[in-house]
């Protein structure tokens, strides 16, 4: 009972502080390895596990449903050897929206599915200790390898995420960094946070031009 109270107290505190742009949640581990101009940061992310939900829609209702499903998983809709477990909320939340139209150069990508992903706390590993097993079949646990990612910071509500992703792709043209796949968005604060205090990022996996695999 005390563990349950402490868990929801922490979530409430994180939500309250998040309104004012203050984060208490654990953040996915990375190192900054380069910059492109004064707008783009290139990071090396460590391997990490995540819970994700995939759906074919990109509207607000579908996003809210995906969030509810994932939040249900971390707040106890799961099972371990000793019973249900509550998983700490981390940041960012990754959102890859469906795209039915090919992106412009330097890459061409299209997708008819959208994915929302919660990164799991660093204590979870595929072997010891494994993360709790989802009870909802729509939640998939994935193990993500280390990767290099270029990100473009911006504030606001995030409704302009597609435009910011396109800005990121254009800014990488003519640089040493080549996108590997399609861009997505990273959200660090809840939707009710004060917009100008929010941190959002357009992101895309990248590789150095000399090491990028042929397309």
Percent with pLDDT over 90 in the chain: 43
Structure tokens at 195: 């917009």
- Parse the chain into domains and list their residue ranges: 2-208
Regarding beta strands 26-27 and 90-91, do their DSSP bridges make them parallel or antiparallel, or are they unpaired?
Answer: parallel
CB 88 within 8 A of CB 129: no
Name the pLDDT band for 163 (thresholds 50, 70, 90): very high
Distance CA 195, CA 75 (A): 26
Which residues are 133's β-sheet partners? 79
Measure Cα distances from 39 to 126, 149, 166 in Å: 35, 14, 14
Domain 2-208, architecture per CATH: Alpha-Beta Barrel (3.20)
Model confidence pLDDT, tens digit, residues 3-49? 444 544 444 545 544 444 445 568 899 999 999 998 899 999 999 99
Distance CA 75, CA 20 (A): 24
Model confidence pLDDT, tens digit, residues 177-197? 999 999 999 998 877 777 877
Other Cβ atoms within 10 Å of 142 Cβ, number: 12
Regarding beta strands 133-134 and 78-79, do their DSSP bridges make them parallel or antiparallel, or are they unpaired?
Answer: antiparallel
Among 71-75, 91-95, 105-109, the range scoring the smallest mean pLDDT is 105-109
For residue 105, is pLDDT > 50? Answer: no
pTM for this structure? 0.78
Mean pLDDT of all residues belonging to the chain: 80
Model confidence pLDDT, tens digit, residues 119-153? 999 999 877 788 999 999 999 999 999 999 999 99
């Amino acid at each position: 009972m005390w563990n349950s109270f402490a868990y929801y107290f922490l979530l409430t505190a994180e939500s309250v502080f998040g309104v004012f742009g203050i984060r208490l949640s654990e953040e996915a581990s990375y190192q900054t390895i380069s910059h492109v101009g004064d707008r783009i940061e290139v990071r090396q992310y460590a391997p990490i596990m995540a819970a994700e939900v995939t759906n074919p829609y990109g509207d607000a209702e579908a996003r809210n449903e995906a969030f509810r499903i994932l939040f249900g998983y971390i707040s106890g809709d799961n099972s371990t050897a000793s019973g249900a477990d509550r998983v700490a909320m981390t940041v960012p939340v990754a959102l890859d929206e469906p795209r039915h139209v090919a992106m412009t150069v330097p890459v061409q990508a299209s997708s008819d599915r959208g994915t929302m992903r919660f990164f799991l706390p660093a204590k979870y590993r595929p072997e010891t200790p494994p993360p709790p097993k989802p009870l909802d079949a729509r939640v998939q646990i994935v193990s993500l390898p280390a990767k290099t990612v270029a990100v473009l910071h911006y504030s606001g509500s995030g409704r302009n995420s597609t435009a910011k992703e396109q800005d990121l792709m254009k800014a990488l043209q003519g640089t040493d960094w080549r996108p590997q796949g399609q861009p997505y968005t990273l959200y660090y604060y809840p939707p009710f946070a004060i917009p100008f205090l929010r941190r959002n990022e357009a992101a895309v996996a990248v590789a150095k031009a000399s090491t990028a695999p042929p397309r």
